[in-house]
Structure 1
């Protein structure tokens, strides 16, 4: 079941996760998440995704993979340029 508090909590979830909102709002959203299983589920999912993305961005891809990706990007750039007649 959704309510105004759920809507507010979910609208501000990313700001809440990044602690980019005022402390009063953080406290209010935290209290709501603590008491609402639907919003807690959404919060947990977003927290896990954020952690995975953060960890993935910190790791460096192996050099052969990096070279293949860069080659693919260059190939696509050439194809786009050729298709545009540039």
Structure 2
């Protein structure tokens, strides 16, 4: 994804690292760079908000259970690669809540 704006960091790279940013698992230099981009780029900020909401929802529904570190690392790498493969154009098209079940549907654009 590229919003067309001029940024120090490419939108696709920012979106690929959004979970690392959310989990505070990056160094301060990387965190500052990502935060600066999110302040400047509305499309990336909107996607960040979706991911942040998803993180909160997962934490609430999983009851604080933590996956093993190895699984989390593999999952993070897989998500990052998927975002890069799709040029950062992963978007949420609809979110619905029914009783205690939440469904998030996503679409990707090539």
- TM-score, normalized by length of structure 2? 0.49
Q: What are structure 1's unaligned runs of at least 5 residues?
A: 60-86
Count of residue pairs brought into register by the alignment: 59
1:38-67 CA-partner distances (Å, limit 9, x unpaired): 1001100000010011011118xxxxxxxx
Q: In the TM superposition, what is the alpha-carbon distance from 1:7 to its structure 2 partner?
A: 1.5
Moved over 4 A (4+): none
For residue 11 of structure 2, what is the aligned residue in structure 1?
6
Within-5 A mapping of 1:18-37 = 18-37=23-42
Aligned partner of residue 38 in structure 1, secondary structure = helix
Q: What is the root-mean-square deviation of aligned Cα atoms in Å?
A: 1.8
Q: In the TM superposition, what is the alpha-carbon distance from 1:8 to its structure 2 partner?
A: 1.5
Distance in 1 (alpha carbons) for counterparts of 2:13 and 2:34:
8
Q: What are structure 2's unaligned runs of at least 5 residues?
A: 4-8, 65-110
Distance in 2 (alpha carbons) for counterparts of 1:44 and 1:2:
17
1:21-40 CA-partner distances (Å, limit 9, x unpaired): 11100000001001101100
| Larger relative helix fraction | 1
Distance in 2 (alpha carbons) for counterparts of 1:56 and 1:11:
24
For residue 38 of structure 1, what is the aligned residue in structure 2?
43
